[in-house]
Amino acid sequence: MENKEQGIAAPGSRMANTGATPVLASFLEHLVKNQVITKDQAIQATEWKRQNETDKRPLLEVLKDEFGVSADQLGQHVAQYYAFRTIEPRERHVRRLLVADAGKILRALPDATLQLVIKHKLLPFDLAENQPDKLVLITPNPADREIHELARVFPYKKFEICYMRESDWSDYLQKVLAEREKTTAEPVVVPPDEAVESDFESLMEREVARAQLHAQLGAVLEDAIRGGATEIHVAPRAARKTEILFRIEGRLAVWHTIDNARCEAVLYALKGLGASMDRFERLAAQQGVIMRSLNNRTLRFTVSILPLHAREQGVRAESAVIHVMREAEGIPPLDRLGMDDHTLSILNDSLASMRGLIVAAGPARSGKTTTIASALRSLIKPTLNIVTVEEPVEFLLDGVRQVKLNPRLGFLDAIDLLTDHDPDVVMLGEIRSPEVANIALRLANIGHLVLSTIAARDATSAVMKLIDMTHSPLLVGEGVRAVLAQQAVRLVCDRCKKPLSVSATQQALGRLRFELPDGERTPQLFRAAGCIDCLAGYRGHELLFEAFSASPAIREIIAGAAERIDYRTLSAALHSEGLVSLRQKALDMVCRGVTSVDELLPFVV
């Protein structure tokens, strides 16, 4: 805002900032010539500015405050000098824009932008004659250089800024606000003139309004729901390029690019959409919640923002990940998750026992959280005390007490308090650390039913991981009630899949360590290719499950293990109790020609 007097812009020019001193002097001369001030006052004012260099008030303000020149007189002469048209509200002329229309235009602005517009005393007044795309705006301060930028928040291609006397402008403002409020419940709080506001805020507000960032981000959130995305990533790529990526079916891909606004403005707008986020905080990690309604449904998103290192000096970059929270209605019942009968009966029996740890294993985004949420949902009844502790909250469940973790309530503190609430069922977010593993198993061992997830390739690996974390095979053997593992296997596209030659097939089978039973014909295997009907050779996926419940024999093997359990021993024992492994199921899929050999590589032990 400094040197405002240098930048008094002529109409149509954008903040021309040249020839400071001559302009200043000649404007003072103009005032002298028109007997607004005396020659002595002009010299004194120039002298005053020179002696008070640190005072950043523009010359006009100084003339008003220090030399008692009337605001109306000054405004009128600024308009005259810089050839701003003056509008006299009492003049009778045809108006193309009614006060009601102006009210409507203001109604379309976000509140923060509206406050900024009013603070800088800018209002829509009329449309130019024969130019319906040109908005005539009025202000008593045509010298305010901010207003030329601010005029761009209105949805018109061109604009003309005109001068109106302060008292007339204020009368008009009251009328327009009254119109605006006819259909909006909240009255506008007109910010006091002395409100100090950072340059950052006004810059961001303008950018957000100009690039319609709220609308763009709103559309992104709705697209995410429609497209079945579980996560939205907001990633700054260059000063004015922000990529929006969606995670759909576990895979991240660019969905949209915002290249008409600075990255900071995109993040600023995003924080403005949600609750409990500070738009001006750019150095700390932040979390918040965004709620929107779509087709009478309330959509909920949790936002997590992290500051980033930026290559450009002075730029504070941030990245955001938005989790799409699903409503209970979005969680399929257990028998609709695609589980085989064996897995389903193990899970149902274990849940019915109401004690011990049930853990769903799988790689990231295999759907294990959905499985646990579905299991939890099947338990909900008023007589049962069910508590969840997770971060972030991925599902909202009625009838369940969902603890909200925050910087002042950490996971371990929440668990401490949990036992006081004596829950029947506890759902913990993913078991990622030894602390959580110990807590989950201890709660299970004192008679609670505990549900959780763990990142592991299969059921056997999940048990090994629990032992690795707790160093206590006994604790694991006693605490675990059932382990379920799942994995999504993509289906190869029927239209473009390519058959493997006999030698390639034999090589592939060898690589998968698959031995054909005697007399069995060599199956026809396929590899993925890619066509317009599919995504890189794949269309859709099938979920595979394996599960076991801890029988006395299995408990004994686990509890009796040394610090590390032998994968093959445990795996063989589970197999003898009827577990059909994920690997075996995936191999069957390959041999049936419904998936490619490459999809099996994660199962090769």
Taking the least distance from each CB to Zn ion, the nearer of 1 and 531 is 531
* Amino acid occupying residue 563: E
Taking the least distance from each CB to Zn ion, the nearer of 278 and 533 is 533
Within residues 534-563, the interface with Zn ion by CB under 5 A covers 534
DSSP alpha helix (H) spans, 144-249 = 146-150, 166-181, 199-210, 213-227
Taking the least distance from each CB to Zn ion, the nearer of 101 and 598 is 598
Stretch near Zn ion under the rule CB under 5 A, chosen from 142-150, 334-342, 530-538, 543-551: 530-538
Read off φ and ψ for residue 230, nearest 5 degrees.
-100, -25
> What CA–CA distance (Å, rounded) separates 98 from 247?
48
Taking the least distance from each CB to Zn ion, the nearer of 466 and 496 is 496
CA-CA-CA-CA torsion for 451, 456, 461, 462, nearest 10 degrees? Answer: -10
Taking the least distance from each CB to Zn ion, the nearer of 531 and 605 is 531
Taking the least distance from each CB to Zn ion, the nearer of 239 and 248 is 248
Stretch near Zn ion under the rule CB under 5 A, chosen from 93-101, 264-272, 487-495, 581-589: 487-495
Q: How many CB atoms lie within 10 A of CB 553?
A: 11
Taking the least distance from each CB to Zn ion, the nearer of 119 and 498 is 498
> What CA–CA distance (Å, rounded) separates 401 from 386?
6
CA 491, 497, 499, 503 torsion-angle sign: negative
| Shortest CB 503 distance to Zn ion, Å | 25
Asked if 277 and 271 touch (Cβ cutoff 8 Å), the reply is yes
Q: Which residue has the tokens 């750019």?
A: 282
Within residues 495-514, the interface with Zn ion by CB under 5 A covers 495-496
C-alpha closest to that of 108 among 152, 171, 153, 173: 153
Pick left, alpha or beta for residue 351 (phi over 0 → left; psi -120 to 50 → alpha; otherwise beta). Answer: alpha
Taking the least distance from each CB to Zn ion, the nearer of 224 and 528 is 528
> What CA–CA distance (Å, rounded) separates 258 from 239?
11
> What CA–CA distance (Å, rounded) separates 82 from 148?
14
Our finding on whether 528 is near Zn ion (CB under 5 A) is no
| Shortest CB 493 distance to Zn ion, Å | 3
Taking the least distance from each CB to Zn ion, the nearer of 369 and 596 is 596
Stretch near Zn ion under the rule CB under 5 A, chosen from 32-40, 385-393, 492-500, 561-569: 492-500
* DSSP output for 425-469: EEEES---SHHHHHHHHHHHHTT-EEEEEEE-SSHHHHHHHHHHH
| Shortest CB 534 distance to Zn ion, Å | 3
Q: For the chain, what is the radius of gyration of the CA atoms?
A: 34
> What CA–CA distance (Å, rounded) separates 491 from 542?
7
Within residues 334-393, the interface with Zn ion by CB under 5 A covers none
Stretch near Zn ion under the rule CB under 5 A, chosen from 231-239, 260-268, 524-532, 550-558: 524-532
Stretch near Zn ion under the rule CB under 5 A, chosen from 321-329, 417-425, 453-461, 488-496: 488-496
Q: Which residues contact 125 (CB under 8 A, 6 or more apart)?
A: 87, 97, 102, 136, 137, 138, 162, 164, 172
Stretch near Zn ion under the rule CB under 5 A, chosen from 194-202, 212-220, 231-239, 493-501: 493-501
What SS3 class is residue 123? strand
Contact with Zn ion (CB under 5 A): which of 25, 254, 417, 531? 531
Taking the least distance from each CB to Zn ion, the nearer of 401 and 495 is 495
| Shortest CB 585 distance to Zn ion, Å | 23
Taking the least distance from each CB to Zn ion, the nearer of 33 and 495 is 495
| Shortest CB 527 distance to Zn ion, Å | 12
Q: How many CB atoms lie within 10 A of CB 291?
A: 12
Taking the least distance from each CB to Zn ion, the nearer of 531 and 604 is 531
| Shortest CB 533 distance to Zn ion, Å | 5
Q: Which residues contact 101 (CB under 8 A, 6 or more apart)?
A: 124
| Shortest CB 501 distance to Zn ion, Å | 20
| Shortest CB 250 distance to Zn ion, Å | 19
C-alpha closest to that of 158 among 122, 131, 197: 131
Asked if 448 and 360 touch (Cβ cutoff 8 Å), the reply is no
Within residues 108-127, the interface with Zn ion by CB under 5 A covers none
Taking the least distance from each CB to Zn ion, the nearer of 468 and 542 is 542
| Shortest CB 541 distance to Zn ion, Å | 14
80 vs 32, 37, 142, 143, CA distance in Å? 14, 16, 10, 11
Taking the least distance from each CB to Zn ion, the nearer of 43 and 531 is 531
Read off φ and ψ for residue 290, nearest 5 degrees.
-115, 135
> What CA–CA distance (Å, rounded) separates 244 from 213?
13
| Shortest CB 445 distance to Zn ion, Å | 51
Q: Which residue is nearest to Zn ion (CB)?
A: 493
| Shortest CB 528 distance to Zn ion, Å | 8
Taking the least distance from each CB to Zn ion, the nearer of 154 and 526 is 526
| Shortest CB 601 distance to Zn ion, Å | 20
How many CA atoms within 13 Å lie on the side-chain side of 443? Answer: 29
C-alpha closest to that of 361 among 438, 437, 474: 437
Pick left, alpha or beta for residue 602 (phi over 0 → left; psi -120 to 50 → alpha; otherwise beta). Answer: alpha
Two tokens at 7?
């930048």
| Shortest CB 526 distance to Zn ion, Å | 11
| Shortest CB 492 distance to Zn ion, Å | 8
Compute how many residues bind Zn ion; rule: CB under 5 A: 6
Contact with Zn ion (CB under 5 A): which of 443, 493, 509, 547? 493
Judged by the rule CB under 5 A, the positions of this chain that interact with Zn ion are 493, 495-496, 531, 533-534
